[in-house]
Amino acid sequence: MSSSMLSSTTSQTKIFFMGATGYIGGSVLNRLLSHPEASTFAITALVRSPSKASKLEAIGVNTVIGSLKDDALIESLAAAADAVISTADCDDDDIAKAYLKGMKRHFEETGKVPILIHTSGTGVLADRSAGYFRDVPVYIVLPSMIYGLASGRLVDLGIQNKFSSQVPQLIKAALGRGQAGMVGAGTNKWGAVHIDDVTDLYVLLFDLGRTDPDAIGHGREGFYFGINGECTLGEIGQAIGEKLVAIGRATTPEPTTFTEEEIKAYFRGSTFWGTNSRGVANRSHSIGWNPRKTEKDLLASVGPEVEAILKERSG
């Protein structure tokens, strides 16, 4: 093994984790805590909430109370880590600059190259572009439309947000207007991935990055899409409508086009859910990623999402 690689799996691996209480982050952290080599991990999570910090400490996660705006703190925590996993704000340049500075310090002080797993999203395919440069072995995970209710210890303890973004937004808008909706004709398509499957991708990259980072693509070759199937937004709207009819919250299952006023009210004026975001996860599959859930599971997940949202509102 090269001297630039991380410590072997028999020694302690120090992990700095950002976004631990979020939908994606909590799911990845939960998986790391049940990882076969979890006893060799020293995980430190940056969190804002003292109450959630105490709950994380109780299950073996070291915590630091702080903010993603504290660049010096992020740099310091990254400097002490063998691996940085960021599932926080992927569009904040200052956060990225802070942990990259810390990772550079780690290399200068130890001679070991840390790994970085950063979260982006297939939204970069929706008429936008992004560029990254290689300074450390960087693996960028780009999930598509993530769906499914998160589960596990962190959810049970009230630490983690269990809801994704896209489908719940459409459900809440449908409940508000009393009918499912879509942007325009709803024929636009998005790739999709179940939360458990995309979590597998994070852990797979983490494992391979520790054992032999040069064996898998990183840096410019390190973009890993999390996609397994796709749906039109009209199909998702139809599934929402059918569930609302079944529970007496709508009179028709057919989605209709959101008005400009509704787009302003429910989506802050953004027509992003009228875009297309499509791709294939060839590189992810090439390193052994094997997602099991398909677009059929996406449509089947809508009903439980509606029920969970209504339960949370009533609670």
Residue 61: pLDDT over 90: yes
Q: Which residue has the higher pLDDT, 120 or 116?
A: 116
Each residue's pLDDT tens digit, 128-137: 333 433 347 7
Which of the four pLDDT bands, split at 50, 70 and 90, describes residue 215? confident
Q: Residue 99: its pLDDT value, please?
A: 92
Nearest to 61 by CA among 22, 15, 98: 15
Each residue's pLDDT tens digit, 179-196: 999 999 999 999 999 999
List residues bridging with 224 in a β-sheet: 141
Q: Residue 171: its pLDDT value, please?
A: 97
Which of the four pLDDT bands, split at 50, 70 and 90, describes residue 9? very low
Q: Residue 129: its pLDDT value, please?
A: 30
Name the residue with tokens 């499509």: 278
Structure tokens at 59: 């299950």
Rounded Cα–Cα distance for residues 234 and 187 (Å): 6
Each residue's pLDDT tens digit, 220-263: 888 999 999 999 999 999 999 999 999 999 999 999 999 999 99
Residue 125: pLDDT over 70: no
Q: What are the structural domains, with CATH classification, of the chain?
A: 13-162+192-227+278-291 (3.40.50.720)
Q: Residue 55: its pLDDT value, please?
A: 96
Which of the four pLDDT bands, split at 50, 70 and 90, describes residue 120? confident
Name the residue with tokens 């060839």: 282
pTM: 0.79
Rounded Cα–Cα distance for residues 243 and 302 (Å): 8
Q: Which residue has the higher pLDDT, 4 or 165?
A: 165
Residue 159: pLDDT over 50: yes
Residue 51: pLDDT over 50: yes
Render the burial of 2-24: b for 16+ CB within 10 Å, e for the rest. eeebbeeeeeebbbbbbbbbbbb
Worst-scoring range by mean pLDDT, 100-114, 117-131, 234-248, 293-307?
A: 117-131
Q: Residue 123: its pLDDT value, please?
A: 61
Cβ-Cβ contacts under 8 Å for 248 (sequence gap 6 or more): none
Rounded Cα–Cα distance for residues 193 and 146 (Å): 5
pLDDT > 70: percent of the chain:
92
List residues bridging with 83 in a β-sheet: 15, 115
For the segment 211-216, the average pLDDT, to the nearest whole number, is 84
Q: Which residue has the higher pLDDT, 120 or 109?
A: 109
Rounded Cα–Cα distance for residues 28 and 221 (Å): 22
46: helix, strand or coil: strand
Nearest to 154 by CA among 50, 23, 307: 23
Which of the four pLDDT bands, split at 50, 70 and 90, describes residue 26? very high
Alpha-carbon Rg of the chain, whole angstroms? 20
Q: Residue 52: its pLDDT value, please?
A: 95
Q: What share of the chain is helix, strand, coil (3-state, %, to 5)?
A: 45, 15, 40
For the segment 5-23, the average pLDDT, to the nearest whole number, is 77
193 sits in which H/E element: strand 189-194
Average pLDDT, rounded, for the chain = 89
